[in-house]
A and B are shown apart, each in its own frame.
Chain A
Amino acid sequence: MPTSLTTRRTFLATTGATLAMPALMIPASAQGLAPTSTMRGGSNNYRPGAPIVERIGGGGFWMTGTVRRAGDGAPLEGQRIQMWAHTTEGHERDAHSHGATLTNVNGEFRLEMPQIVPAFGQPHGHLAYDSGDFETVFLRPVMESASDTTLHVAFVLQPV
């Protein structure tokens, strides 16, 4: 019976794990937060310059999200996020289906809009960051269920 807890096998396993740790930790470290890429179809029916509004139409559905800086993950305040969707009040292409809002000091945004309904086969929304200080990003998140009354979206922006 070996009395020592360190056998050749455990030695190799623990040393290997220790050597691998720095590599495993990189994604969580300060330099690691990767920017969000534009999604396919994200810019479809985009209308540049949607106005900043208190609410899109009659509301009832909440689009929420966060905006952070790539790399250090710092929350970005005052960033303009545009959104549009096929809702109970209009098609994606309709001007009144579009609106924008600004992020707060914590890099969070939330804007009330009409209920998103399935269109072109999926219940989905569109969001855009295109103010120029960071790389432009278009997103097209799909709701898990058409009966969801909120959709949360995370932006990580790459400085230009």
Chain B
Amino acid sequence: MGRLRAIGVWAALIGAMVVPLIVALQSPLLAWRDTIYIGAGFAGIIAMGGLLIQPLFIGGRLPGTTPFTGRRFHQIVGLCLVIAIVLHVGGLLITSPPDVIDVLLFRSPTPFAIWGVLAMWAMFATAILAALRRPLKFRPKVWRLAHTGLAGIIVIGTVLHAFLIEGTMGAWSKTALAACVVAAAGKVIWDRKAWRRVQADQRQA
């Protein structure tokens, strides 16, 4: 029973991440794009899929992971997300430099770009904070609140970004993945209640 449940959970997760990629691979738009532009787009779709599994590793909800391995996977996936976003933005920058410069300077005419760039900076900030966490000895409550807040911005920014784009992703698979990403992050954030544990820390102090 436990094994069946584990297989079911992993199959559902992998399906939710892979089906949007398969649907996007059928997009007619691909015929009119060069390799770098296509690669940039898919780096974005892969990153959105990664956002689904990312909070689940740390929430201890994935069959076959322990708190230790879950944390390790969370760090590895986090690094992969940063790399995917660099490839996403870098590929778009090569495809159309002025459009991406407008986005980075918050003067793009397209609203989805603002959400994407917001999520990108939140993700970079998360990676920097994670790297500095030990050397700078952040207090746990500072770390938890900052990390949870940034994670929320990443999830909301990414989902709005993807939603408003008319691109290679299919409408249904995009909606389903977006719902899964929001549900997974929301559940883990709610369960861990970083804000309440802050109050507990304060009471102890």
Residues of A at the B interface (CB closer than 8 Å) are 39-41, 43-45, 86-89, 91-93, 117-123, 140, 146
Pick the contact of A93 from B96, B109, B110 — CB < 8 Å?
Answer: B96
| Given pairs A87-B32, A120-B96, A121-B164, 10 additional interface contacts (CB within 8 A) | A44-B99, A86-B32, A91-B33, A91-B37, A92-B96, A117-B29, A118-B29, A120-B110, A121-B113, A122-B110
The answer to whether A146 and B109 touch across the interface, beta carbons within 8 angstroms, is no
> Bound complex: CA of A141 vs CA of B72, how far in Å?
47
Closest chain A residue, CB of each to CB of B27? A118
CB of A120, distance to nearest CB on chain B (Å): 5
Residues in chain A near residue B108, CB distance under 8 A: 40-41
Q: Mark B81-104, 1 if CB is under 8 A from A, else 0.
A: 000000000001001101100100
Number of interface residues of B (CB under 8 A): 22
The answer to whether A40 and B102 touch across the interface, beta carbons within 8 angstroms, is yes
> Bound complex: CA of A20 vs CA of B32, how far in Å?
55
> Bound complex: CA of A93 vs CA of B94, how far in Å?
10
Pick the contact of B96 from A40, A45, A122, A123 — CB < 8 Å?
Answer: A45
Residues of B at the A interface (CB closer than 8 Å) are 29, 31-34, 37, 92, 95-96, 98-99, 102, 107-110, 112-113, 164-167
CB of A37, distance to nearest CB on chain B (Å): 12
> Bound complex: CA of A56 vs CA of B66, how far in Å?
60
Closest chain A residue, CB of each to CB of B165? A121
> Bound complex: CA of A120 vs CA of B181, how far in Å?
23
Pick the contact of A40 from B29, B34, B107, B165 — CB < 8 Å?
Answer: B107
The answer to whether B112 and A121 touch across the interface, beta carbons within 8 angstroms, is yes
Q: Please list 30 pairs of residues, one from A and one from B, whose beta carbons are closer than 8 Å in the complex, sorted by A's number.
A: A39-B109, A40-B102, A40-B107, A41-B102, A41-B110, A43-B98, A44-B99, A45-B96, A45-B98, A45-B99, A87-B32, A88-B31, A88-B32, A91-B34, A91-B95, A93-B95, A93-B96, A117-B29, A118-B29, A118-B166, A119-B33, A120-B110, A121-B110, A121-B112, A121-B164, A121-B165, A121-B166, A122-B110, A122-B166, A123-B166
> Bound complex: CA of A140 vs CA of B99, how far in Å?
12
CB of A102, distance to nearest CB on chain B (Å): 27
Q: In the complex, which of the residues A91, A118, A121, A123 has the most CB atoms of chain B within 10 Å of its own CB atom?
A: A121
Residues in chain B near residue A88, CB distance under 8 A: 31-32
Residues in chain A near residue B113, CB distance under 8 A: 121
